[in-house]
Amino acid sequence: MKYLDYELRGDVALIGLNRPDKRNAISDAFIEELDTVITRANGEAKAGVIYGHGPHFCAGLDLAEHVQKTAFEGVHGSRRWHEVFGRIERGKLPWFSALHGAVVGGGLELASSTHVRVADATAFFALPEGQRGIYVGGGASVRTARLMGQARMTDLMLTGRSVDADTAERWNIVQYVVLEGEALEKAVELAGRAASNAEFSNYAIIQALPRIQDMSADDGLFVESFIASFAATTPEAEARLQAFLQKKVGKVGRPDEKK
């Protein structure tokens, strides 16, 4: 692979964005490699982590390649990003991203397709497409806007401002903020926890929750009942519930309790 590397660490697949000389900018070939390693992870792992090599996670679209495209080629390129990022967001595995440095434009769109985002203190977030004379094309209108809200996304796109990791956490762009250099370690830890969950539970969480968000409240509650009932009848669920009832596993404790 030219732009990415892949490692299997236990049940967790690690995908490293490895184009640091271009701040891990996303090209067409980059997207195709990402599609290939997602397929590999789906066959080998129970959870995944995406991170960036070098000083940045990803600074977005490869503009040098983009300016050479016709409008029609641009549409097809955008739809391919949607397809591949959709395999992360609504695929087989729970995905975590470890973010540092620039998480900008397409980099933020890629991060938005993961289910849990961990940023270190160096991370900064922006959608500078308005200043480049273009528009987001990798899913930000849907995924990123739903995370931070339409008003905040409008602000970023109109003004070109960037926000730091603490602001990103307040805005719901990321769920965790850690010290510089610790994002990957934390993301792998969290992915390991998710990998230990019942496979059907993980699948239901990443598949059902976003769809229920698109439904009316009444429809969402109806779907929830069926998923909950079916999940409880799987052999893995029965074994885990019996283990809990027999006190073979601990109860949920306070967040300040040592495990």
Nearest C-alpha neighbor of 96 from the set 108, 79, 112: 112
Nearest C-alpha neighbor of 193 from the set 49, 50, 34: 49
Residue 32 falls in the annotated catalytic set: no
For residues 73, 79, 82, 83, the Cα torsion angle rounded to the nearest 10 degrees is -110
Residue 109 falls in the annotated catalytic set: yes
Q: Is residue 178 a contact partner of residue 120, using CB atoms and an 8 Å limit?
A: yes
Q: Is residue 227 a contact partner of residue 208, using CB atoms and an 8 Å limit?
A: yes
* Measured distance CA(51)–CA(29) in Å, rounded: 18
* Measured distance CA(249)–CA(230) in Å, rounded: 23
Hey, is 13 helix, strand or coil?
strand
Catalytic residue among 44, 129, 236, 257: 129
Pairing of strands 12-17, 4-9: antiparallel
Catalytic residue among 33, 73, 109, 169: 109
| Residues with catalytic roles | 109, 129
